[in-house]
Amino acid sequence: MTENLELNGVPLESVPPALLRAINYGHFTSMQIRDRQVRGLARHLERLDRSSQELFARGVSADRILSVLRTALDRAPSPDASVRINAFSRGRDLDVDLLVTVSDPIEPTPTAPRLLAFDHERPVPHLKHTGTFSLTYYGRQANLAGYDDALFFDRSGNVSEAAIWNICFATGDRIVWPDAAVLPGITMLTLQAGLDTLAVARETIPVPLTTLAGYDAAYLTNSIDPALPVASITTPTGTTTYAPHTPSADLIAKAYATIPLDPI
């Protein structure tokens, strides 16, 4: 599948420079669609509407989002796809534009990553905004240092999130999410709902870098990787290595599967 761009339901043959400038201030949501189904569809719709209200003082209805999404998928050659919906505005008093990108589905990451921790706090972290320079920058710095990706900690020395993932930790039969300024990821929220359905103990508490060795495992979560085991985390004071932990891996996978797929 070649990448396909659709602006407000109309295919784009080329991308005008004015459009590229406009999308610098905006937000987006990403999803992995299989057989025209996705988990957490209502959360994606709510995210786009809520974030548009905050950034542009006007929302985007679920009906409109679904209309442009369905139109884009109708033109795709496969019911399996990776989809990104960008919301932006080309003028202060204009409606919100929706740019839908449809491309080949992305398979989960095959190996457990080694993370390098950086002192970094994203601006406006509760929004999935288009200001992703720092995420790419620190991810690249981690790669250049011989690691797979970046993990962030805040000025208090507490873990927050990874470059394109949320992160959680497992200890015994309990799942811990960092209490920090992070993006409330759709997969994170879906997993939490699944854990609640299974009555699994979970909590959101500060996770200082100094406590990483006290956990049995760590997992990255996003639309591509619902529960990607972390191989190691290197901080300014040392490296914590995690061995495969079958009990928590199975528990998280079961929690994710508990939430049904939504048809589009």
At 171-200, the pLDDT tens digits run 988 999 999 999 999 999 999 999 999 999
CATH of domain 4-103: 3.30.470.10
Arithmetic mean of pLDDT, 97-115: 95
Superfamily of domain 114-259: D-amino Acid Aminotransferase, subunit A, domain 2 (3.20.10.10)
pLDDT at 93: 77
Nearest partner of 151 among 130, 137, 165, judged by Cα: 165
Percent of the chain whose pLDDT exceeds 90: 88
What's residue 2's pLDDT? 63
Give the pLDDT mean for 104-117.
96
Q: Name residues whose C-beta falls within 8 Å of residue 95's C-beta, 6 or more positions apart in sequence.
A: 58, 89
pLDDT at 253: 95
- Outline where the chain has alpha helix (H): 17-22, 41-56, 62-75, 133-144, 186-197, 246-258
Lowest mean pLDDT segment, chosen from 5-14, 51-60, 76-85? 5-14
Mean pLDDT computed over 219-246: 97
pLDDT of 39 > 90? The answer is yes
Q: Whole-prediction pTM value?
A: 0.93
In a 3-state reduction of DSSP, which class is residue 204?
Answer: strand
Q: Where are the domains of the chain?
A: 4-103, 114-259
What tokens appear for 147 in the block? 């690691």
Two tokens at 117? 């921790």
Mean pLDDT, to the nearest integer, of 201-217? 97
| Average pLDDT rounded to a whole number, residues 40-50 | 98
What's the rounded mean pLDDT across residues 9-19?
A: 82
The pLDDT tens digits for 144-181 are: 999 999 999 999 999 999 999 999 999 988 999 999 99
Q: Any alpha helices (H) in 184-243, and if so which ranges?
A: 186-197
